[in-house]
Structure formats: structure tokens, C-alpha cells
């Protein structure tokens, strides 16, 4: 009886741990193409409407101790509540799913760039800061971002140049 209970408990813990560790898959190749096409105009319209959340996200990286998946999601959640932001997204035929796409692409690019830095300058501290981001997106999403990294970097660099 004790062995049966222990085996059931172990299976439950392992199944729960595996389930909790895998974030949902968000991106498709179409999402990447659409994001690349829409984001320059969308961000310009958001900024014109007084919502420069992209700049807020970039500034949040300045303090690595407080930059986390939770802090990034919090910034995006704040933008999500704005009626003006929703109207702008609708203009580009995006709905609330845009925020999941933006988060996943942004994190995929961030992790990819940090991984390149870690190859050149290995640091357990830096790796510890990056790992929570890595585990916050599905591995297939990260692979899709990697396949499109040069184009995504161009888009983010153009957005930075405009600020």
C-alpha cells in the first residue's frame, strides 16, 4: 500500500512539474511575418497616441536586478488596458493576442542576444538572469525567433533609432 501511494505521489509530482515547466507555444511563421510588417507603423501610431511602451520596456532592461519575465509582463499588461492602445491594435487587425506575440518575440530576441554575450563572456550571474526568460517561452518559439533573428534585430534596431 505504501509503495503504491509513494509511486502515485511521485507520478503526480513529476507530471505536475513537467506541466508547469512548459509554456504554451505562441508563434507561427505567419506571426513573425506579420509582426515584422506591422510593428514599425504600429509603434509609431502608439507613440503618437501617447503610449510609448516599447521605450518603457527598453528602459526596464537598464536595471538587470529588477528586469524579469514578470516585470516585462506587467509593463505589457499596463499597455493592454489602454483603450487607445486597443484601437491602434485594431487598426492593424491585431487583438489582445498581440501582447503574447510581442512578449514571445521580444524575449526570444533578448535571450538570443544574451546567449551570444554569454559565449564571449561566460558568467554564472548573467546566465542566472537570462534563464528565467529562456524558460518563459516555448522552445519551438525560441527556435522560430532564431531562424528570423537578423530580420527581427533590424526591426528592433529601427525602433530604437526612432526613439
Q: How far apart are CA 42 and CA 97, in angstroms?
A: 15
State residue 13's pLDDT score. 40
pTM: 0.83
State residue 20's pLDDT score. 57
pLDDT digits (tens, 9 = 90+) for 29-66: 999 999 999 999 999 998 888 777 777 777 777 777 78
Q: Is the confidence at residue 1, as pLDDT, over 50?
A: no
State residue 96's pLDDT score. 87
State residue 17's pLDDT score. 46
The residue that leads in pLDDT, 69 or 56, is: 69
18-46: burial string, b at 16+ Cβ within 10 Å, e else: eeeeeeeebbeeebbebbeebbeebbebb
Cα distances from 40 to residues 92, 138, 161, 162, in angstroms, run 11, 25, 11, 10
Taken as a whole, the chain contains a residue count of 163
Element (H, E) at 134: helix 124-134
pLDDT digits (tens, 9 = 90+) for 5-36: 333 333 344 444 445 579 999 999 999 999 99
State residue 140's pLDDT score. 98
The residue that leads in pLDDT, 152 or 5, is: 152
Q: Is the confidence at residue 121, as pLDDT, over 70?
A: yes
Confidence class for position 89, pLDDT limits 50, 70, 90: very high
Amino acid at each position: 500500500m505504501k509503495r503504491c501511494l509513494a509511486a502515485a505521489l511521485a507520478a503526480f509530482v513529476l507530471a505536475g512539474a513537467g506541466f508547469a515547466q512548459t509554456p504554451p507555444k505562441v508563434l507561427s511563421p505567419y506571426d513573425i511575418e506579420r509582426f515584422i510588417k506591422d510593428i514599425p507603423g504600429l509603434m509609431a501610431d502608439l507613440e503618437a497616441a501617447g503610449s510609448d511602451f516599447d521605450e518603457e520596456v527598453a528602459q526596464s532592461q537598464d536595471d538587470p536586478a529588477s528586469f524579469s519575465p514578470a516585470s516585462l509582463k506587467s509593463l505589457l499588461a499596463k499597455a493592454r488596458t489602454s483603450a487607445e492602445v486597443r484601437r491602434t491594435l485594431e487598426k492593424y487587425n491585431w487583438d489582445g493576442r498581440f501582447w503574447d506575440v510581442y512578449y514571445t518575440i521580444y524575449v526570444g530576441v533578448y535571450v538570443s542576444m544574451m546567449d551570444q554575450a554569454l559565449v564571449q563572456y561566460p558568467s554564472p550571474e548573467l546566465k542566472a538572469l537570462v534563464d528565467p526568460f529562456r524558460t518563459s517561452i516555448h522552445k519551438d518559439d525560441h527556435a522560430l525567433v532564431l531562424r528570423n533573428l537578423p530580420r527581427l534585430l533590424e526591426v528592433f534596431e529601427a525602433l530604437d533609432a526612432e526613439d
